[in-house]
Structure 1
Amino acid sequence: MFPMKQPWLCKVLGCYDSCVRCLGAVPYVTLSATLLCYAGVALFCAGAHEALTHTHTLVQTHFARAQQDFEVLADFIKYFQYVIYGLASFFFLYGILLLAEGFYTTSAVKQTFGEFRSTKFSRCLSLTFLIVTYLLAVIWFVIFAFSLIPVYFLFNMGQTCHTVHILSETTTSLNQHAWVCVDPRQFGLLPWKATPGKVCGMTMANICKEPEFYMTFDLYITAFAGAGATLLGLILYIIAATYNYAVLRFLGSKGIRC
């Protein structure tokens, strides 16, 4: 009976070893970077798209009643929403390519498949992905920086709302406090000719009571966090790709090639 069990035992151990080797072949850093990129781009695109829609409504309702006063901002919102659709589609495909390239170049995969073969094409492909990802990281750093502007503006607006709330409890009329104002023209969001351009007093108090204002603030924070997560994912991939490319160059210099 025992000799009959031996082949079965060998098969079990062979399956276990195969599973361990397969798990070892996973490029975990590249996989983490890809998931971060997907999650970050999803947060940024969804949050920014909805936040821009609410921004258009807030500006048109309270800060610029004439269409020509916020025509530039309205065009920017419309075209950037189309850019968001393109970003989502591009990063969905590019993330798959990054993950595939990570599986190809990771050292764990080289060990799994036995003897390693390095070619000039593989090194050139890895370098191309590294350069493209580096450029994308620079672009996303700019996006990350610019996404801070509406967060900063709405944070100041929230602080003004807090002041309005305190004054409404201590004074009888907010119109006596003309200094309690918010002016988006100071941030370059509207031209100086926009009417009324800034809101003060009771008008400011009414904006602070609107749930749409706080929803817009939360959406911009979501977009800002998504841009940061995407940038972090790209940096992680650059680290992993740089290491893999260094290994390719080292083995290529040793003459290990097809």
Structure 2
Amino acid sequence: MLQLCCFSLHGFSGCFECCIKCLGGIPYASLIATILLYAGVALFCGCGHEALSGTVNILQTYFEMTRTAGDVIDVFTMIDIFKYVIYGVAAAFFVYGILLMVEGFFTTGAIKDLYGDFKITTCGRCVSAWFIMLTYIFMLAWLGVTAFTSLPVYMYFNLWTICRNATLVDGTNLCLDLRQYGIVTIGEEKKVCTTSESFIKMCDSNELNMTFHLFIVALAGAGAAVIAMVHYLMVLSANWAYVKDACRMQKYEDIKSKEEQELHDIHSTRSKERLNAYT
């Protein structure tokens, strides 16, 4: 759009003025929030997906867990559901970021062209208010996602701490039981201890360290998405207030222009009456 606008004018001066005008209409605050949102969602979805895949490998390899046959919902089924949720979150917020950018361009254009041919409609203000409410709901949702993502980080931190303590202190017998995290039922005993060979292999493998750090990055991405939602709320609230004030100013200018026109008509009518009476 910027290049088309520039090449449509002749001369450097006209092109420069057009470029400045186009750059002035870009909603930079919404652009920054969109970039932060995309970065956070990308980190959360990408790293979260890989961390869940690494968790499945760790459970199957070192905890000797297998998928339950039939329609029983086990931990592996829940992980598959979480992966599909991640796909949906990535697609939904990609579209939502585009919609917020369009709303930012609309609001910026409405404020810039208030005294031009552009007219602010009630529908535009309703759309801004709707985006504020929707963004607030998404912010609360991302707060919940951030809190939920902190759980596997806590679990892997405990596991990493057990591996580290077992390496530093000889002769210790520390165990990690999956039942305390609700991953398996009480009747199942799925645990590894520092004296077992599988625990030593798990601590020495890069898979545990990689999965732990992937969950940390996914948590950081969820936090970045929360910050982006807060940024969007500030931008949308400010834009809505600007549009509301601009609409009031537009109504005031319309009323003032109408009154001036009426006074001019009255003055013209009286002048004609006086002229006719004199004649």
Tell me the TM-score normalised to structure 1 length. 0.84
Equivalences for 1:187-206 in 2 at 5 Å? 187-202=181-196, 203-206=198-201
Contact 2:192 2:199 in 1 (8 A): no
Residues 88-141 of structure 1, C-alpha deviation per residue, up to 9 Å, x if partnerless?
Answer: 1111111111101011112x6632675362211000011111111111111011
Q: Which amino acid aligns with 1:206?
A: K
Contact 2:26 2:105 in 1 (8 A): yes
Of 174, 178, 181, 2:175 maps to: 181
Q: Which amino acid aligns with 2:26?
A: V
Equivalences for 1:1-258 in 2 at 5 Å? 11-63=11-63, 65-68=65-68, 71-106=73-108, 110-111=111-112, 114-115=115-116, 117-167=119-169, 171=170, 176-178=171-173, 180-202=174-196, 203-256=198-251
Which residue number corresponds to residue 6 of structure 1?
none
Contact 2:111 2:242 in 1 (8 A): no
Contact 2:178 2:184 in 1 (8 A): yes
Percent sequence identity over matched residues? 36
Cα distance in 2, alignment partners of residues 161 and 86 from structure 1: 35
Cα distance in 1, alignment partners of residues 204 and 99 from structure 2: 47
Contact 1:63 1:195 in 2 (8 A): no
Residues 190-212 of structure 1, C-alpha deviation per residue, up to 9 Å, x if partnerless?
Answer: 32222233433234322101111
Cα distance in 2, alignment partners of residues 189 and 232 from structure 1: 31
- RMSD across aligned C-alpha pairs, in angstroms? 2.4
Matched position secondary structure for 1:182? strand
Q: Which amino acid aligns with 2:121?
A: T
Contact 2:179 2:190 in 1 (8 A): no
Matched position secondary structure for 1:148? helix
Q: Which amino acid aligns with 2:53?
A: T
Contact 1:181 1:204 in 2 (8 A): no
Cα distance in 1, alignment partners of residues 184 and 33 from structure 2: 38
Deviation (angstroms), 1:221: 1.3
User: Over alpha carbons, which structure has the higher Rg?
Assistant: 2
Cα distance in 1, alignment partners of residues 247 and 121 from structure 2: 7
Contact 1:45 1:85 in 2 (8 A): yes
Aligned residues: 240
Which sections of structure 2, spanning at least 5 residues, go unmatched? 1-9, 255-279
Contact 2:38 2:97 in 1 (8 A): yes
Contact 1:63 1:199 in 2 (8 A): no
Matched position secondary structure for 2:62? helix
Matched position secondary structure for 1:201? coil
Cα distance in 2, alignment partners of residues 25 and 140 from structure 1: 30
